Structure 1
Amino acid sequence: MKQSRGQWASSLGFILAASGSAVGLGNIWKFPGKVAAYGGGAFILCYVLIVALVGFPVMLAEISIGRNTQKNVVGAFRRLNRRWTFLGGIGVITLFVILSYYCVVGGWVLKYIQVYLTGADFGTGATPYQDYFVNFISKPVEPLLWGAVFLALCVYVVVRGVSKGIEKVSKFLMPCLFLILLAIVVRSITLPGAGEGLRYLFTVRPGTVNGNTLVGALGQAFFSLSVGMGIMVTYGSYVSKTENLAKSAAFICGIDTMVAILAGIAIVPVVFVTLGADGLGQGGGFAFMALPEVFAQMPGGIVFGCLFFMLLFLAALTSAISVLESCVAFLTEEFHLGRLKAIVLLVIPMAFLSAGYSLSQSAERNLNLPWFDFASGVQMLPMNAVLEKFTDNLMIPLGALGFCLFVGWVWGTKNALSEIEADGSRFRFKRSWSFLIRFLAPAVIVLILYFTLGKGQGLS
């Protein structure tokens, strides 16, 4: 008997759920730090161009595949061309790895919300906020427990299904996310001296536009937009034939880019005011070390610190839900399992991978695994760095390249456009989209993969 599939109850529900998938840790946790690392306005310019010329075409391609086949990412490729089923498998593996460390970081966020709500002390000393974060992530058990709480919240939503779980929650969480973000933006730009941070954020310095900037922008755009992994194939498979796919994809890309830039406006000026430009260069721990120090120096900083981590939590949760849903859809459809059983089978191996990621944060328990830097030979990096580089710099761009080649040259843009216009609307940019998906987008991805792997850039 054919298994019944979920479906979005409304167009708004799909757009908010897909936007929730796109708007995640990449927008709020990574984006401001990458803006600082890659030269401010130059990075934003590259990011926006890549979203428009590569991200949007790939997202539209993925959604069209999903709606046409009404299948998960593996089943979709099997239906359209069995020889390309491997591409769906690559997507599922990538999603599994991403969720394993997403839950760990989500647990960190929950811990910080607890700290702000209870008024706990970050401690004293020369670098109290850095010391607090390092001490916390170095613990073998507590970070894993918070990560388990975060994962349990994702499970609760996904097990309830598409319309009653994911869509219903997204309709509530996404407006909350926007309200909190706007409140922080208003507070940020009204601080004395915030103009210096805004100038740094939007000033394009020609010398900073290079291979590293392009690599960083591509990885950030793909990770943020949730393309190249098959999430949008799964979400697209729940879309009705009356949905305008091109308009929906444009809304999703626009919302995601707007949130990323607003997050930059919310964070960069306040860091400049309190810590200067050097405060942005703290890598993955930026949100957990620099920002608590920033909030401590602001009037009402406890409130805005709590709001920020609630914002980060909402972004992380909506994205993690989409990743889990895509993996669950694969198991339920390909192996005819119930949702709860599929989730249990995913959580068990994921717990071990998450534990390795969490423990690798500690110098005392550093789980070094090999990552190949083709410019200088083999170098050893911590497991957490390996997982992030494996997904952000390699698997996601490779997946996006596969989608471009498949839609542009195997399934064909004619079939894709027929699905895109299935609602009766006319896609005015069909020729431009066909050119982008067949030629420009693959060329850009190959070029940046060359910088990443061949030249070794983007790995530092």
Structure 2
Amino acid sequence: MVQQKRSQWASNLGFILAAAGSAVGLGNIWKFPGKVGAGGGGAFLLCYVVIVALIGFPIMLAELSVGRRTQKNMVGAFRSLNPKWAFAGKIGLVTLFVIMSYYSVVGGWVLKYIWVYLTGGDFGTGATVYQDYFTDFITDPGEPLLWGLVFLVMTIFVVVKGVSKGIEKVSKVLMPCLFLLLVGICIRAVTLPGASEGLKFMFTVKMEDFNGDTWVMALGQAFFSLSVGMGILVTYGSYVPKEENLVKSAAWICVLDTGVAFLAALAIIPVVFVTLGADGLGMGGGFAFMALPEVFAGFAGGKIFGLVFFLLLFLAALTSAISILESCVAFLTEEFHMSRLKASILLAVPMSLLSAGYSLSQSEARGINLPWFDFTNGFQMLPMNAVMEKFTDNLMIPVGALCFCLFVGWSWKTTQAVREIENDGAKPFPLRGLWSVMMKYIAPVVIILILFFTIGKGEGLS
């Protein structure tokens, strides 16, 4: 049988935008500004940049090198280099499957809010109208599932089209749109009366904020944001032609991802300070859906501002969802020789069932409780949605990242990875010695510390 030629990115720009789209997700725009607030502003930003440069970039580069060397999906990549390590690819596969199941639900929430703003932006009346609207919506037994299904179908539509004609083509349109919308929001935000207080908070560095909690929070945000430890970049790296410079590509992906996160903070923090004060950043998971609509309603053109923000959130969610689903589809198409459409449908059915459990668990009356353990609270019964998030954030992502570092550092060996990164000397990598030390020693120790924190204190990465 003649082996089918593997799909490749048509251009390096397309690859960088697609990979950056994978990294730029809900966490950059929804969670990052809140983390900046909780971490004291400037101190968190500095911690985040250091971690992206010293931990995130090396792991990202390693994942891309494994993908390009093997030209296989995440499970096949590990198996081809060392069959005993195939389990590491399966960890990533399970992680992505669960993440996609609840990511599509949250993507559906974003679509719902876009629809609300398109149809007039009427959230009702009352002192707690925005909180009540969001709570009533997510606890409804049917509507969130329908919106989530629409989001999943949109993701499938892109993935079925393939690498260059689907993912790359869409990323070349969506990512520039995302940047333009974000810059537009930034300009409006920083020109609001009183926005200087938010900017001052964001860029003021206080030494007392450089504490363990800030560093761990920045570590978790960087891991979740950059898509490391899940196998996505192994899959995307497998589509990269040999002549491309992996070091420059990984650097650009990190810069774009971090840039979007910083712009999101610049767009949101001044606005929140103007209307709600510093406490407005601490609303947790409902921040984007409760605090920001209230903020937008408080100034002229707020409905347009709200629509643009949720369009921005949708673009970020969709580009990340595409990469998650693509990694799962690549496994099925390569390992079981099925079409992209068949693989997508086969995944969509169980994902939808998990999505239903996640969505219904937003309501205590209809939710499913599952057991969970951490060293602070011991065994406890938690709603299914909380267990799904803890399973991926607290356990699977750091375990997957740790396995990857140990594999590259001690099984495949960093010398082999460097050969791939440098394309056998054609693309010299001056920092290969430092990179090897980071992969073999520093990154594994940092990830183990994260695991102790997440399992010990029961707090998640995202």
Q: Per the shorter chain, which TM-score range?
A: over 0.9
Alignment correspondent of 2:36:
35
Alignment correspondent of 2:178:
177
Q: Which moved more, 1:80-89 or 1:389-398?
A: 389-398
Deviation at 1:206, TM superposition (A): 3.2
Q: Quick one: distance in 2 between partners of 1:453 and 1:149? A: 34
RMSD (Å), alpha carbons: 1.5
Contact 1:212 1:457 in 2 (8 A): no
Deviation at 1:271, TM superposition (A): 0.4
Q: Which moved more, 1:297-306 or 1:214-223?
A: 214-223
Deviation at 1:448, TM superposition (A): 2.0
Contact 1:211 1:457 in 2 (8 A): no
Q: Quick one: distance in 2 between partners of 1:244 and 1:376? A: 47
Q: Quick one: distance in 2 between partners of 1:176 and 1:98? A: 25
Alignment correspondent of 1:95:
96
Which structure 1 residue ranges, 5 or more long, are not aligned?
Answer: none
Equivalent position to 1:447, from 446, 449, 457: 449
Per-residue CA distance 1:390-419 (angstroms, 9 max, x = gap): 212221111111111111111011110100
Contact 2:64 2:246 in 1 (8 A): yes
Alignment correspondent of 1:6:
7
Per-residue CA distance 1:353-407 (angstroms, 9 max, x = gap): 1011111112322322222121231233322222222212221111111111111
TM-score of the superposed pair, with normalisation by structure 2: 0.97
Alignment correspondent of 1:357:
358
Q: Which moved more, 1:178-187 or 1:49-58?
A: 49-58
Q: Quick one: distance in 2 between partners of 1:285 and 1:427? A: 43
Deviation at 1:278, TM superposition (A): 1.3
Call closer, same or farther: CA 1:333–1:360 in 2, change over 3 Å: same
Deviation at 1:458, TM superposition (A): 5.1
Contact 2:221 2:461 in 1 (8 A): no
Alignment correspondent of 1:159:
160
Call closer, same or farther: CA 1:152–1:456 in 2, change over 3 Å: closer
Contact 2:99 2:392 in 1 (8 A): yes
Alignment correspondent of 2:323:
322
The equivalences for 1:118-137 within 5 A come to: 118-137=119-138
Equivalent AA in structure 2 for residue 400 of structure 1: A
SS at match of 1:370: strand
SS at match of 2:365: helix
- List structure 1 segments (4+ residues) > 4 angstroms apart after TM superposition: 455-460
Aligned length: 460
Q: Which moved more, 1:385-394 or 1:449-458?
A: 449-458
Contact 2:121 2:303 in 1 (8 A): no
Contact 1:367 1:382 in 2 (8 A): yes
Equivalent AA in structure 2 for residue 433 of structure 1: W
Alignment correspondent of 2:61:
60
Equivalent AA in structure 2 for residue 443 of structure 1: V
Contact 1:328 1:339 in 2 (8 A): yes
Call closer, same or farther: CA 1:56–1:297 in 2, change over 3 Å: same
Per-residue CA distance 1:277-329 (angstroms, 9 max, x = gap): 11111111100000000000121111111000000000000000000000000
Contact 1:17 1:167 in 2 (8 A): yes
Alignment correspondent of 1:433:
435
Alignment correspondent of 1:254:
255
Q: Quick one: distance in 2 between partners of 1:421 and 1:458? A: 36
Q: Quick one: distance in 1 between partners of 2:415 and 2:299? A: 56
Q: Quick one: distance in 1 between partners of 2:4 and 2:94? A: 24
Q: Quick one: distance in 2 between partners of 1:97 and 1:455? A: 22
Equivalent AA in structure 1 for residue 375 of structure 2: F
Q: Quick one: distance in 2 between partners of 1:362 and 1:436? A: 44
Contact 1:407 1:437 in 2 (8 A): yes
Which structure 2 residue ranges, 5 or more long, are not aligned?
Answer: none
Alignment correspondent of 1:25:
26
SS at match of 1:371: strand
Contact 1:211 1:448 in 2 (8 A): no
Contact 1:158 1:321 in 2 (8 A): yes
SS at match of 2:370: strand
Per-residue CA distance 1:191-232 (angstroms, 9 max, x = gap): 111111112222233333333323322221111111100000
Per-residue CA distance 1:159-193 (angstroms, 9 max, x = gap): 00000000000000000000000000000111111
SS at match of 1:364: coil
